[in-house]
Structures are given as structure tokens and as C-alpha cells.
Structure 1
Amino acid sequence: MPTTFLDFEKPIADLEGAIMELRHRGNGEGVDIAEEVSRLQAKVERQLKATYAKLTPWQRVQVARHPERPHAVKYIETLITEFTPLAGDRAYAEDAAIVGGLGRFRGRPCVVIGQEKGDDTESRIKHNFGMVKPEGYRKAQRLMKLADRFALPVITFVDTAGAYPGVDAEARGQAEAIARSIEVCLELGVPLVSLVIGEGGSGGAVALAAANRVLMMEHAVYSVITPEGCASILWRSAENVQDAAEAMRLTSDDLKKLGVCDVVVGEPLGGAHRDPDAAVKAAADAIETELASLDGMDAAALRQHRRDKFLAMGQKGL
């Protein structure tokens, strides 16, 4: 049960609060409450199904940003064995917004890279809320080139509202670092599979997602700008954020139809934050399937595959 409920989840929060109160009272008085708890839990499940079956794009954004949603470190710790983290860009500094290194995914040696937002105040500050600086993208480039040198597949976990927009980042070449990361992705002679696990924001996300196969968790979003940013530009008002989210076609369903996303990975009922282990397991199965589909392709074929994929984007209509 999550500890944080979104605005549209209030009826669910009320029911789960009633279950907790009932359990507390029952445990204290020695009363058998199993039947009533079971009835309320069934009601919670029905409410979850009804609510999540008709989420608006803006509500999907809220789910993608849920603070208890599993982040990159959770995926790496669960899926990657013998993980050896690598740090620094060998030019300026270490950027904790990018977590990456060498390991094994279900026995297969690989390089893994993820954007990490953090789970509490301390870790969010440490990881800069997943907003990567130029040195982070240059670290990602270094790791991808390492993978290319040793013929290792690359797995990336995308989760950022966007690249860090600070003056210091711009002074150190933020735009060039992002562009170069995209170039490195496209030039890799090894399989590259990317999974958008939460927010896929702007070039900050594409820098790790110019992949052979782009996967999205069911309630993840992927867009050129945040809905808030879009609303402030087009409507000059934050009040139109829901209109912006609707117009942007940023949900996994829409992006699959448009050919931007290749695979949508189903999440547990109520979102990945309700059962992180199940969500990560589903993601692992999907990644394994996509990596297997790329086996046997040589470097030239993998590069051409990516080229054809991105040139074809935008040719499908909703």
C-alpha cells in the first residue's frame, strides 16, 4: 500500500484508510475482522480498476512522477548481478544523476546506464532530481563507447523531467553533450535497448533513448517538454496544463501508435508504485525479449536498424 496518494485516488485512499483503521481496532480488541477487510479489499480493487482504466494524460503524468515509483537504482539492484558502478566523465566531474556500470542481466554481460531521481530528500538532492549535467552525459558516452569496444549490449533506464537547465551546465556545453550522446547511441555497433520507467523529458531523455528498441512502462510518459512548460508557452498559463498533456500525445499508448515507442510494458494494477517488484519483473521479461530479438545482427545492421527506426518516426498517424 503506498503512503502517498494522488488527488484522483482519494476514494481509494479513503477505503485503504478504513482497512487500516479496522485492522488496528480489530487487533486491539481481539475481534475477527477478516470478512470485513476482505470485502473492503475487493472494493479497493474494483475502484482501482475503474480509476486506472480511464486515466487522463495529465493523470498519467502524475502517476509517472509518483514519489514511490521504482527508480533506476531499484531496477539496477534487482536486475543486474555482479554490478560494478563506474564514475566520472574523465574530463570534469562525477554526476550522480547518471548511475551506470558493468554487470550481468540474466547472465548476459552488459553495460547499464540509468537516470536516477532519488527516493527521499537527501537522495534527490544527491542525484539532482534526475536532471543530468554535461558531465553526466559525457559519462554515459564513455560507458557506451566502453560497451562498443567490448561488444556488450547496452541497457538504459530513462527517468528525467529534462536535462539540468542551470547556467553552469550551459557554460559547460549542455546542448553539445546531449547531441553527442545521441550521436554515440546511433553509432553503437552493439544492441541498445532503452526503457522509459517514469518521465522521458526532452533531449535529456533522448540522449539515452536513441535505441534499437524503445520500451515504455504502461504509465510512463515521453515528450519534448513537460506539460507545465508547454502550457506556459502556448497558453501562457499553468491552468491549461491538462489541455497541454492531452495535446502532446505523451502517453505510452499514443506513442506506440505513433511508432515512437516499440513496446508498452504492463504495470501492476494501480501503477508500479503499488508493486515495484512485479513492475521490475515485467520490465525484465520485456528487456530480455527485445535483446534476444537483436541477437545475430552485426554492427552495420544494428546501426541501420536504428537509422531506419528514427527516420520512420512521425509517419504513423493517430
Structure 2
Amino acid sequence: MRSFLEFEKPVAQLETRIAELRDAAGDDEVDISDELERLEAKSADMLASLYGSLTPWQKTQVARHPERPHFADFVEHMFDEFLPLGGDRAFADDQAIIGGFAMLDGRRVMAIGHEKGNDTQSRIRHNFGMGKPEGYRKAIRLMELAGRFGLPVVTLVDTSGAFPGIEAEERGQAEAIARATEACLGLPVPMVAAIVGEGGSGGAVALASAERVLMFEHAVYSVISPEGCASILWRTADNASDAAAAMKVTAQDLKRLGVIDRIVPEPMGGAHRDKPAAIASLKAALVEEIDALRAKDADTIRKMREDRFLQMAG
């Protein structure tokens, strides 16, 4: 059963009515096809109207939708021959950040991304996508491996932020994030990052400091969550919607500001309504970006990264 967000309630009511009519149609000789067609058209129009004018806070809710595609979905539908590589060779294997060798439409790549999980048990196992120091050190190891073998790096970012627990701080969380960011910037091979859900804080930047940054149409990317920002500025999370608007967290705002390079369209109603279509859309964009970068040498690629971040600072 599909999960609806608060602002989608009018659509939810219509879709419930449509489902009820379909069930009744099987036991009734009366032809209700015209009524079904009218309600389906009305539902589609309402959905298009809603998603054509989402506020930044509503986009944040869409980006957090539990049914959005996660890294496991991308592995299943976008990558072939995925070979996971685990561990940071120092402490443990963090399940919040997954990575390994993969084939992307016939191209060998190193795929790395956050995994949030899709039910209670898997969310706990993957720590809700919040990476610990060993996760970022694993990412560094995989990026260095990609550089050694000349493989483009593809990262899929979807995290509310790095894990803030005391044990993570004791194991050097800040340093691990900084080193992962440094590893991205120094890669001698093409790197394309995609913000597919939430891009939260340094935990996202550590896997997104690439020469090309893509972003799903309804994803968000920010230095702090709207609730966190509101708690600092207004001393209450109740102003999260105001914070989301002020922070410019949406793909459309970030494209105008030059923080990201390309917006990847989602199916009407968000990526969670049609995962295969959303994944296919991102796959086509990633292939196009990687092909455009493959012929560039290491110095050119590093200069591209340097220029894009210096341009933001300017």
C-alpha cells in the first residue's frame, strides 16, 4: 500500500475512491468505466498541480519519503555485476556506506553510496544511512582503488548527515569526513556524484566533492537540516518550513547558485511512485556525464573540481 505525505491527502482520497470503484466493478454489472476515467484524470491533474508547485519544505518531505529508491535499488536496477567491497582495513565495515566494483551500461565504475534501509530491521542495520568514520574511510579506500585501476567513480548521496554519536567522534568522525572530501578532490579519474534523496551536511559533501554533481528533481542538499536550522535560529523546530525556504535546499535553487550542475527529472509524483523510471532517468544522465569526462586527463579533471569550488567561493 502506497504511503502518502501530508500534503498529498487530497490525492490519497481520490486514489482510495478509485480503488474502491475498481473493487466494486468486479461484482457489479453497471459500467463505471467513464467514472473511473474521470477520477483518474482528476487525480493525475491534482498530482501534477501539487508537484508543480512544491515548497522547499514539501520537497524535503518528498526527499525523505521512505519508499524512494535507495542504494540497494540502484544496485538492482542500474548497475550490473556489482561486487561489494567491505571494511576500512582498520576498524569495521560500516553498512551505512556501501561500495564496490560495478558495470554501468557496459562501463566499469566504482559505485559508492549511502544506504538507509527499507524496513525497521534494515534501517537499524544500515544506521539510517548515517555514516560512521569507518564508512568514510572505506569510501576513501575504494576511491584510491578506483584511481589505481583507472575507474570512474559514481557516488549516490542520501543521508541526513554523518552519525553524531559519541563513539563516532571518539574514532575521528570529523577527520574521516575531511579525508574523504580530500580524496574526492584529489581523484585522478572522473567522478560524478548524484544527490538522490537527502544531501545532509558534511556527511553528504564527503561523497559529493566531484567535478560533476547531479541532483534528483525533488532531492534536497544543505549544510544542516531545516529542523536543525530552525532550532538554532528560532529555538524551535516548528519553523522548519521557514528555514527550508531561507536555506535554498532545492535542486532548482542550487542549480541557479551553481552548487550543482544538472537536475535529473523524476516521474510525476516523485521517484517513490515509479522507482524503475526514476532509476532509468538517473542512469542515462550518469552515462552521459561519464562519457563526457572519460577522455580528460587527471590534471584536467582535478582542475575542473578546483574551479567549480573556487567559483562557489567567489
Q: TM-score range by the shorter chain?
A: over 0.9
| Letter in structure 2 aligned against 1:262 | D
1:103 Cα deviation (Å)?
1.2
1:102-142 alpha-carbon deviations (Å, 9 max, x no partner): 01100011100010111111111110000000000000001
The 1-side partners of 2:77 and 2:160 are apart by 24
Q: Which residue of 1 aligns with 2:165?
A: 166
After superposition, where does 1:1-318 map in structure 2 within 5 Å? 3-315=2-314
SS in 2 for 1:28: coil
| Letter in structure 2 aligned against 1:163 | A
1:131-181 alpha-carbon deviations (Å, 9 max, x no partner): 000000000001000000000000000000000000000000000000000
The 1-side partners of 2:19 and 2:112 are apart by 39
The 2-side partners of 1:91 and 1:150 are apart by 22
The 1-side partners of 2:198 and 2:80 are apart by 25
| Letter in structure 2 aligned against 1:166 | G
1:304 Cα deviation (Å)?
0.8
| Letter in structure 1 aligned against 2:224 | I
SS in 1 for 2:207: helix
Equivalent residue pairs, number: 314
Distance 1:28 1:133, change over 3 A: same
The 2-side partners of 1:98 and 1:62 are apart by 22
For structure 1, the 5+ residue unaligned runs are none
SS in 2 for 1:99: strand
Contact 1:259 1:314 in 2 (8 A): no
1:34 Cα deviation (Å)?
2.4
TM-score by length of 1: 0.97
Kindly, what percent of the aligned residue pairs are identical? Answer: 59
1:19 Cα deviation (Å)?
0.5
1:31 Cα deviation (Å)?
4.2
| Letter in structure 1 aligned against 2:244 | A
